[in-house]
Chain A
Amino acid sequence: MKNKDKIIAAFLVSLGLFSTAQATQYVGGLSIKEKQALSVVAQADDTANDTDPFLVAIHDNK
């Protein structure tokens, strides 16, 4: 798994969107263009202030 793939997978896991295994499987199925687009969002989230994150996971409901 490439570094960029690992960053995207970790980002998806941190948001509670997938388990590690699911995230690895999901990222493996993405095109290069899709990975590029997602890594931009992941990096932007990573540079946000730790105490005031840009993206926050919430429980699945409305």
Chain B
Amino acid sequence: MPRSIKELGVVVGYRCNFKCAHCCTRHNRSQGLSAVEKLSIISAIDRYNPGTLLFVGGETTLYLETVNEILSAARDLSGSKIKVTTNGHFARTVPSAVRMLRSFKKLDSIQLSYDRFHAEFLPFRNVKNLYLACKKLGMKFCVINTITSPLELVGLKKFWPIGKFKVLVNKVMCLGEAARNGIEYAYPSFDSGVLNRSCPARNNLTYVCGRGFSACCSSLAFETSLPVAHASIAQHRRSRFYRLISGMTLGRLMRKSGLPANCLPPQFSAECHLCEHIFKNSGLLA
């Protein structure tokens, strides 16, 4: 019996109607899932019964047909919660938000990406409309707030009059448009504690559109051709990459790579940034 999966993320494609400067994908990517990729995802859902199925993009609602295709083809979703990350563009009014949410074959939870970058494209009223639509339909609602500095948390005060919901605080990673624009979460100094930590996503799995299944949901999977993503979950779990990141701390990986561990820059305090440095600049996956 295959090990079950707590959460399976699916990057359905990279198309988006916003052009946020901090986006973790490149704006010029318009790729969506191929027929073969959809079949792989459906087969993984049937085999591993993920507790949560999270669809992300690009803008996920632009791939509504693809999401519904996957949800319709999966054998049994009764044990799976369906979660979608969106930019909320459709929530111009509460009824329009309700219509969009109802058009998903199954949907339990919405994660709205809203921060100072999304605010350039999304009217604030859409946040309230989407929250109210979720409340009306009995769906969970939360906001993902991606920041470059803790001072941006001060802007969260404007959520308070809307209602009570979780705000997931996320740091801008140096990948996609963010890397192109030189936008990244700023650390004041290097935190050597990162060397005692392992990949925080090692127990998660994401299907990265155009790449495959991977525990990595960061730049190694999105922006390199290194063998970090695989056609099936079983293949991924047998891979050298997975064995390395799931069995070692970043400090041990650093030592194994032979890369110098002194004078590391502040941005390597982020696990993903350090991990990218290790795998891109060593022969660990050769």
Contact = CB atoms under 8 A, between A and B. Distances in A.
Interface of A: 12, 15-19, 21-22, 25-26, 29-30, 34, 37-38, 40-41, 44, 48, 52-62
Interface residues of B, number: 37
B269 A60 contact: no
Contacts of B170: 58-62
Contact of A22 (B151, B173, B269): B269
Q: Which of B150, B160, B173, B271 has the most CB of A within 10 A?
A: B150
17 contacts: A16-B169, A17-B169, A17-B171, A22-B188, A22-B189, A22-B191, A38-B150, A41-B153, A44-B160, A52-B166, A54-B164, A54-B167, A59-B170, A60-B200, A61-B24, A61-B217, A62-B85
Given A17-B169, A19-B193, A44-B160, A62 B24 contact: yes
Given A17-B169, A61-B173, 20 more contacts: A12-B150, A18-B150, A18-B187, A18-B188, A18-B191, A21-B189, A21-B191, A22-B191, A26-B150, A26-B188, A40-B154, A41-B153, A55-B166, A56-B166, A56-B168, A57-B168, A60-B200, A61-B170, A62-B113, A62-B146
Contact of A62 (B187, B200, B217): B217
B218 interface: yes
Interface string B200-222: 11000000000000000110000
Interface in B141-162: 144, 146, 150-151, 153-154, 156-157, 160
B101 interface: no
A59 B188 contact: no
Contact of B151 (A18, A38, A55): A38
Contacts of B200: 59-60
Contact of A19 (B150, B167, B269): B269
B56 interface: yes
A17 B146 CA distance: 11
Nearest to B178: A62
A18 B263 CA distance: 18
A60 B173 contact: yes
Contacts of B146: 62
Contact of A60 (B25, B151, B171): B171
A57 to B, nearest CB: 6
B270 A19 contact: no
A10 to B, nearest CB: 12
A8 B67 CA distance: 41
Interface in B6-25: 23-25
Contacts of A38: 150-151, 153-154
Contacts of B164: 48, 52, 54
A58 B272 CA distance: 13
A37 B151 contact: yes
